[in-house]
Amino acid sequence: MENSVIISIEKLVKQFPMGQGVFTALNEIDLTVQKGEFSGLIGPSGSGKTTLLNIVGSLDAPTRGEATVLGQPISKLGPREAARLRKENLGFIFQSYNLLQVHTVYENVEFPLLLLNIQAAERRKMVMDALEWVGLTSKEKSKPPQLSGGECQRVAIARAMVKRPSLVLADEPTANLDAANSHHILQTMVKLNEELGTTFLFATHDEKVISYLRRKIYLLDGKIDKIEHVAVNDTVPS
């Protein structure tokens, strides 16, 4: 695996206005993530993991400091550049799936490719490949309300992966799933990480997810508390 830096965070501070003062969600964060990592931000609610994920995903900007993602400094990106970064290089997986409810499974997965202006024939092949990765080729015409939670999250994974992004950001991806579905989802992501070399960064406090991570970044009150590295053979896809 190539060992290049995909995320570089330096002295990152994020503050939100709260009443008369400010709430510091992230405080002097320094972190680097290498290409191909399967790592996660772990911590209780309010520890700042989602905020950090949003900044890395260029959905939010730091108050101070810098987060450089794929060589692009987030604080200096305008709305168009940030949108281009997300469109071309990032995949998102959300806790509540965030699928487009009136679109079919196929259309949901196809959406990022439409934004990239990929030709119809190639688009079709890429969508079907992505659905095959997550085992949902038979559900391409279904709509999200007709799917189970596990199936919805697998569609979300396919949507995040279909354009072969460099980095996938997953915010509590198993929070709404039962154990069996959670393991299924996580095994799928591990497989994609290994086969496609996609970097995964999670925000989670779910033990099932934590057990799959090969790098565990513990956050507490907006600061990095500790970082644990796990050998590949020690991850537990049970």
Residues that bind other proteins (CB under 8 A): 50, 54, 57, 59-60, 79-80, 83-84, 86-88, 92, 94, 96, 98-103, 107, 111-112, 114-115, 143, 159
Q: Which is nearer to other proteins, 84 or 223 (CB)?
A: 84
Q: What pairs with residue 23 in β-bridges? A: 16
Q: Which of 111, 92, 237 is nearest to 167 (CA)?
A: 92
Q: Residue 106 or 133: which CB sits closer to other proteins?
A: 106
Between strands 72-73 and 64-69, the pairing is: antiparallel
SS3 115: helix
> Residues 56-73, buried b or exposed e (16+ Cβ, 10 A)?
bbbebebbebebbbbeee
Closest CA to 107 of 144, 133, 161, 135: 144
Shortest distance in whole angstroms from residue 218 CB to other proteins: 22
Compute the least distance from the CB of residue 54 to other proteins, in Å. 5
β-pair partners for 40: 202, 216
Q: Cβ of residue 229: shortest distance to other proteins, in angstroms?
A: 29
Tell the smallest beta-carbon distance from residue 92 to other proteins (Å).
5
Cα 158–chain centre separation: 12
Give the nearer residue to other proteins in terms of CB position, either 124 or 215: 124
Nearest CB to other proteins, comparing residues 115 and 220: 115
3-state secondary structure of 208: helix
Residue closer to other proteins by CB (options 113, 213) is 113
* CB nearer to other proteins: pick between 54 and 188: 54
* Cβ 235 to other proteins shortest distance, Å: 28
What's the start-to-end Cα distance of the chain, in Å?
A: 24
From the number of C-beta atoms within 10 Å of its C-beta (0-12, 13-18, 19+), residue 43 rates as: buried
Min CB(31)–other proteins separation in Å: 19
